[in-house]
Amino acid sequence: MKQTLPILALTLASLFSVNALAGYIEVSGSAAIELVPTTAQLTGSVVITAANPTAAKEGADAVIAKVLNAFDQQGISPQQYDAGQLQLGPQYQYDKQTRELVGYQANREVNLQVPTSDVGIWLAQFAELGLTQIDTPRYQAQLSQQQRAQLLQSALADARSKAEVLASGSQQRLGAVEQIEEVSFSAPRPMLKATMANAESYRAGSETEQVQLRVRFELND
- Report the CATH number at residue 93: 3.30.70.2970
pLDDT of residue 47: 96
Residues 6+ away with beta carbon under 8 Å from 135: 42, 43, 44
- Are 80 and 100 in contact by the 8 Å Cβ rule? The answer is no
pLDDT of residue 201: 55
pLDDT of residue 19: 55
User: Do 32 and 52 lie in a common domain?
Assistant: no
Domain of residue 195: give its range: 22-36+142-220
pLDDT of residue 192: 47
- Are 185 and 210 in contact by the 8 Å Cβ rule? The answer is yes
User: Do 107 and 196 lie in a common domain?
Assistant: no
Domain end marker among 113, 140, 167:
140
**What phi and psi values does residue 151 have, to the nearest 5 degrees?**
-60, -45
In a domain, 211, yes or no: yes
User: Do 63 and 100 lie in a common domain?
Assistant: yes
pTM above 0.75, yes or no: no
pLDDT of residue 215: 94
pLDDT of residue 168: 86
User: Do 174 and 111 lie in a common domain?
Assistant: no
User: Do 118 and 193 lie in a common domain?
Assistant: no
pLDDT of residue 30: 94
| Regions of the chain short of the pLDDT cut 70 | 1-22, 185-205
User: Do 43 and 117 lie in a common domain?
Assistant: yes
Determine the Cα–Cα distance for residues 30 and 159; give it in Å rounded to an integer. Answer: 7
User: Do 128 and 75 lie in a common domain?
Assistant: yes
Domain end marker among 115, 140, 165:
140
Domain end marker among 121, 140, 159:
140
- Are 41 and 140 in contact by the 8 Å Cβ rule? The answer is yes
User: Do 76 and 115 lie in a common domain?
Assistant: yes
pLDDT of residue 182: 92
Closest by CA position to 122, among listed 62, 80, 60, 59: 80
pLDDT of residue 34: 87
Determine the Cα–Cα distance for residues 49 and 77; give it in Å rounded to an integer. Answer: 31
